C-alpha cells in the first residue's frame, strides 16, 4: 500500500490538528480557506482571542509593526517580527519565527518553522522545523492560471486548486533566494542550496545543488 503523502512529509505530533490530516494534505488548505471554524473549535482553552478572528496562546511575541489579518491561530513561543504580514487563513504552531517582510497566506506551519527574512509562503504546508533562508519564495500560481498538479514519485495528482504553493517536509532546509515552483513536494530533511529554482517532487534526504524541474 502506498504511504500517504502526509506520512511521507510530516510528523503529526507537531501540530494541534492531526485529525484534520485524514486525507492528502492539500485538502487542509481547502479547510483553511473555507472551514476555518474546524481549527478554532479544536483549540485548547489556553488560547484566547487577541483581536477579532486572531487566536493566540500565551507567550506569543508580536511586534507593533507586524500586521495580522484574521482568521489566524498562533501558538506559544512564536515570534511575529517587525514588518511581518499574516494575511488570513493561517495556522502557525509553537516556537515559530515569522520575520521581517515575510508574508504568510492560507498556510499551516508545524511547530518550530522559521521563515525569518523576506519570505513568501502562500497556500503551503511547512513541516516540523522546516526553514526558509532569506528571500526564499514558495510560488503558488501558474502563469496560465490552470489547476496545479502534485507529483510524488511516479504518481501525479490534481490538487483541484489554481493556487497551490509547496508541501515542505519536516527539517527541510531551503537556501537563500530559492524559488520553489507551484505544487512542489519537498521531502523530509531535504537541503536545497541558495539561488536554486526547483519544482516537482524531491525525495527525503536529497541535497539539491542546482536548478531542476520535474
- Provide block-wise average pLDDT over 10 residues at a time, the chain (214 residues): 80 96 89 96 96 96 97 98 97 98 98 98 98 97 85 82 94 98 96 95 95 69
Residue with cell 487566536: 55
Flag whether 213 is in a domain: no
Examine residue 106 and state whether it is found in any structural domain, yes or no. yes
3-state secondary structure of 72: strand
Is 94 contained in some domain?
A: yes
Q: Which helix (H) or strand (E) holds 61?
A: strand 61-62
Per-residue pLDDT, 213: 65
Asked if residue 56 lies in contact with residue 37, where contact means CB atoms within 8 angstroms, the answer is no
pLDDT in tens, 177-192: 999 999 999 999 999 9
Residue 197 domain flag: yes
Question: Any idea which residues carry the catalytic annotation?
Answer: 117
In a domain, 9, yes or no: yes
User: Which three cell numbers, joined as nine digits, stand for 48?
Assistant: 484566547
How many domains, the chain?
1
Task: Give the count of beta carbons closer than 10 Å to the beta carbon of residue 146.
Answer: 10
Structural domain including 29 reads 5-208
CA distance 181 to 192: 13
157 is a domain residue: yes
Asked whether residue 214 is assigned to any structural domain, the reply reads no
Nearest by Cα to 210 from 185, 175, 184: 175
Residue 83 lies in a domain: yes
Supply the CATH number for residue 63's domain: 2.160.10.10
What predicted TM-score, i.e. pTM, was given to this entire model? 0.95
Amino acid at each position: 500500500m502506498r504511504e500517504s503523502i502526509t506520512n511521507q512529509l510530516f510528523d503529526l505530533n507537531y501540530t494541534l490538528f492531526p485529525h484534520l490530516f485524514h486525507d492528502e494534505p492539500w485538502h487542509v488548505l481547502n479547510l483553511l480557506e473555507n472551514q476555518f471554524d474546524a481549527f478554532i473549535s479544536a483549540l485548547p482553552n489556553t488560547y484566547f482571542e487577541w483581536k477579532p478572528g486572531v487566536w493566540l496562546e500565551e507567550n506569543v511575541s508580536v511586534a507593533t509593526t507586524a500586521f495580522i489579518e484574521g482568521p489566524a491561530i498562533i501558538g506559544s513561543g512564536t515570534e511575529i517580527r517587525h514588518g511581518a504580514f499574516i494575511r488570513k487563513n493561517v495556522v502557525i504552531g509553537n516556537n515559530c519565527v515569522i520575520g521581517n517582510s515575510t508574508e504568510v497566506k492560507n498556510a499551516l506551519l508545524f511547530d518550530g518553522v522559521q521563515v525569518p527574512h523576506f519570505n513568501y509562503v502562500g497556500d503551503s504546508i511547512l513541516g516540523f522545523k522546516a526553514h526558509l533562508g532569506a528571500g526564499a519564495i514558495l510560488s503558488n500560481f501558474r502563469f496560465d492560471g490552470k489547476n496545479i498538479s502534485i507529483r510524488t514519485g511516479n504518481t501525479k495528482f490534481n490538487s483541484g486548486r489554481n493556487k497551490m504553493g509547496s508541501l515542505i517536509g519536516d527539517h527541510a532546509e531551503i537556501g537563500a533566494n530559492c524559488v520553489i515552483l507551484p505544487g512542489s513536494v519537498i521531502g523530509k530533511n531535504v537541503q536545497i542550496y541558495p539561488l536554486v529554482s526547483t519544482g516537482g517532487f524531491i525525495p527525503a534526504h536529497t541535497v539539491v545543488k542546482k536548478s531542476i524541474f520535474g
